[in-house]
Each structure stands twice: as structure tokens, then as C-alpha cells.
Amino acid sequence: MFYGKVENQKVVELMTKPKWFFDDGTIVDDLYLQTEHIYPIPESAADYQDDYDFLRYNRIVNEKDDLIFDSQLKNIKNYFKYEEKTLDEVYAFVQQDVINVRNSFVYSDIEYNFPSGMGFIQLRNEEDVRNIQVNGMEALKDVVEGNPTKTHYFMDESNTLREMTAQQMVDMTSFVKSVGQHHYSVSWTHKHVNLKAIYENDSLTDEQKIDELLAYDYRTGWVIETPV
């Protein structure tokens, strides 16, 4: 929680709660801080709309000019300002959201038809990706050396140990790579082809570009329907 220093009914300084102590070692309370004209800015006193259009507007908080001292409640009300995003800000926002959607697909479990039956390859983070890459490299080494039937093991998402040949391991890791490449390809199309075409369309005003950027559906094309 922030606090504000008040002079002549106006907030002149913002601060965290001062760590002052009484003689007995206890920290000073809000009642004492009032004697120094320092009052809390409780979140519950904030006057704003939770459902404001964050796609089009930036919400600006905690500027002194937006704070109003309430002498009856003995606290400071925080009034938020809304500033319309520029075209560049909207463009950057939408592009970043495409990246967020891409990453949610890149780091999600993949259904796969193992030699022993259907299951899921776990992809939670970069560590899982590296683990699959290492498995693929070891298996490819065996294939190149003429041992494509050498036994390899892989632990799937349900902690079921999957047994497969070196060639089957290479096939699995290649499939994972192809899925990742698909998601990056979809991301590229959304960001650097379709959204870029709107942003660089000289026949549109900035306001029209913003409307089209926000209306563009970039949540399509990600899902691979049929697992291999």
C-alpha cells in the first residue's frame, strides 16, 4: 500500500509506509501518521473500471495529480486516468499477444502414437524441449552408425516408460520439431504478413488501422488436428 503526504488538501509526495517506531519499539500506526499529514492510499478506495478497454487504452496510476485527499475518510482516493494507445502501441500489443498464443502452443503437451499406443509428449518448458533434443541426437547417432533397431526409452507425460527403436525415437523427435515449426510458421504469418499488411496499409487512417488490428483474429490456424 502506498501513502501520500498532504499539504493544503493536495497530495505533494508519494511514499511507502514510513518505518517509524514508538519508544517501546512498535511501528507507528496510521493514526500517528495522520499527525504528520501522511495518509494511506487503499486499493479499495480506487475509483476505476475493471472492464476498461485495455486494448485501446493505457491506464495510468499513482500520479500525484490523480490523487484526491478525502478528509472524512482520512485517506487518499486514487483516480485512474485513461490514455488512448497510439497505433504503434496497439501494433506492438497485438504482436506480443500473438507471441503469447504461440508460446502457449509451443509449450503444451503433444499427443503422439508411440509404438505401444497413444500417449502425450510433455512440453512444459525449455528443459523438456532440450530433453527431447538430446534423445533425438543420441538416437540419430545410432541410426547413422548402422544401429537403427537399438532400444531407446522415453518417459511420457503420464510417467509411462515408452520403449522404441533408435529410428522410432528419431521419428518422434522429428515430429515434435515439426509441430514446433508449425506454430512458429503460424506466428510468422499472423505477425509479419497479415498484421504487418494492416499496419503498413497507407490507404487507412491510423484509427482505421487500430480498428482492423484489434478486429484481426490471430487465434486461428494453430491446432494440428490429426496426430501422427
Total Cβ atoms within 10 A of residue 127 = 8
Per the structure, the count of domains in the chain is 2
String of DSSP letters for 120-148: EE---SHHHHHHHHHHHHHHHHHHHTT-T
- Shortest CA distance to 136 belongs to which of 120, 119, 121, 158? 121
CA quadruple 151, 156, 161, 162: dihedral sign: negative
Which residue range forms the structural domain that includes residue 14?
A: 2-84
Length of the chain (residues): 228
| Gap between the terminal Cα atoms of the chain | 53
Based on the domain organization, do 129 and 200 belong to the same domain?
A: yes
Based on the domain organization, do 113 and 202 belong to the same domain?
A: yes
Based on the domain organization, do 146 and 168 belong to the same domain?
A: yes
Residue 21 lies in a domain: yes
Of 41, 62, 84, the one marking the end of a domain is 84
The SS3 of residue 179 is helix
The SS3 of residue 43 is helix
Residue 228 lies in a domain: no
Residue 168 lies in a domain: yes
**Angle at the Cα of 31 (from 27 to 34), degrees rounded to 5?**
110
Of 19, 52, 84, the one marking the end of a domain is 84
pTM to 2 decimals?
0.68
Q: Are 109 and 123 in contact (CB under 8 A)?
A: yes
Based on the domain organization, do 63 and 157 belong to the same domain?
A: no
Based on the domain organization, do 146 and 207 belong to the same domain?
A: yes
Based on the domain organization, do 61 and 94 belong to the same domain?
A: no
The pLDDT tens digits along the chain (228 residues) read: 788 899 988 889 888 888 899 989 899 999 999 999 999 887 654 444 455 678 888 877 656 677 888 888 888 887 667 789 999 999 999 999 999 999 999 999 999 999 999 999 999 999 999 999 999 999 999 999 999 999 999 999 999 999 999 999 999 999 999 999 999 999 999 999 999 999 999 999 999 999 999 999 999 999 876 544
Give exposure, 193-228, as e/b (b: 16+ Cβ within 10 Å): eebeebbeeeeeeeeebbeebeeeebeeebebeeee
Residue 23 lies in a domain: yes
Q: Are 129 and 123 in contact (CB under 8 A)?
A: yes
- Indicate the Cα dihedral angle 80, 84, 88, 91, nearest 10°: 90
